[in-house]
Each structure stands twice: as structure tokens, then as C-alpha cells.
Amino acid sequence: MTNDPVVHVIDDHDGARDALAFLLIAENFSVRAYGSAKAFLDALPSAQAGCVITDVRMPEINGLDLLRRLKSREIGWPVIVMTGQADVPVAIEAIKLGAADFIEKPYDAEVLIGAVRFALRGRANDVRDAQRTDIQQKVATLSAGERQVMDGLVDGCSNNSIACELGLNAHSVEVLRAGVMTKMQVTSLSHLVRMMLLVAP
């Protein structure tokens, strides 16, 4: 058991950290919890390999800073980033910095557990490869207008900004957005962004 991979949970909020650790332990994961990114980095030299779940918004060293530091140290452990808001620009930046996934709070337990299992099995890349074709096929079903609206959403634009950019009224954008969500088979903006980041060049 001592060689089992460990899920390293980093969150400065005691309640959120404890709840996540409890969920993971109940699913038979080995867990270590930290109240800050600094505490995790201090423990890193002797830490058991595994994956990292980190909150984005933390004092001193936030989730994105942690990704940068792990990258500079050439630590290749998969990192799942959690954010309390549907913050698309932060999610995109996290993926660019090497995050394996991002999960929006309040999180769906099954989605989170699935992401951790893929990360620990080293299957994240295989899963991405398998998903890309399916995502591309879904994108191909979008109309030109739906594709334009989706591109705006993934870039972090509001409905009003997209409406101004495309010369449409707000209602038209809402209709096109609903079509995007239906055809892409997603229920949240964060899910849509995760999908599109998988097929981004």
C-alpha cells in the first residue's frame, strides 16, 4: 500500500479540503491534504507520486502559480485544477500550463472521481485521443452561426459581447447558444470549454 499513488489535495478552505479528502478516501484513494500550495511544495521532495487536485484561488501561491512551479521543476504529475466560478480564461490558462483537467465547483462527485482515476492510471492522453474524433464530429453538426457563438463562449466572451461582435440581438445569441449546448451534448459552459480545449491546435 505504501507504493500506491497518492492524490494530493490542496485547498486553503478547511471545509472544502476535508470534504474532498473524505470523498476520495471513501473511494479508496490514498490522500494527503495541504492547506496551501507552499505546504505542498515544501513536502514535495519526499512526497509519494500521484496526482494533484488544487484550488485556483489561494493566497500567496495560487493554482496557476503552482502549475508554473511544477513545470519549472519538471514534475510531470497530472494536475486537476478546481475553480469556484465558471472562469473560462483561468481554465484555458490552466490547460495551457499543463493541467490535466479543470473542474468547476460545486463539483459533480462522479466527474471528479473519473478525472482522478484517469489521471492516476496514466490514461488521460489515451482518453483525449479517443474523445477528439467524437468532439470533432459533434462540431461538424453546428451551423455557421452556432460555431461563431461557440467560439466566442470558449474565448470567454459574454452573450452581450458575442451579440455585438456578430451583429445579432441577445435573443438570437441565446437561441444559438442553446443549439450549441444541445448538439455538443453538454450541460455547462465549463464542460464545453474542456471539450474544445481537447481539440484545440
* 198 vs 117, residue with greater confidence: 117
**Separation CA 11–CA 30 (nearest Å):** 17
Total number of domains constituting the chain = 2
- At residue 99, the pLDDT reads 87
- At residue 1, the pLDDT reads 41
- At residue 181, the pLDDT reads 94
What residues make up the domain containing 77? Answer: 6-122
In Å, what is the CA distance from 127 to each residue of 91, 108, 115, 123? 19, 19, 10, 6
User: The domain spanning residue 167 has which CATH number?
Assistant: 1.10.10.10
CB 46 within 8 A of CB 53: no
Tell me the per-residue pLDDT of 78-105, one tens digit each, with 9 for 90 and over.
999 988 765 677 877 888 888 888 888 8
Tell me the per-residue pLDDT of 12-71, one tens digit each, with 9 for 90 and over.
999 999 999 999 999 999 999 999 999 999 999 999 999 999 999 898 999 999 999 998
Answer with the one of 122, 152, 181 that is the final residue of a domain.
122
Instruction: Classify 35 as helix, strand or coil.
Output: coil
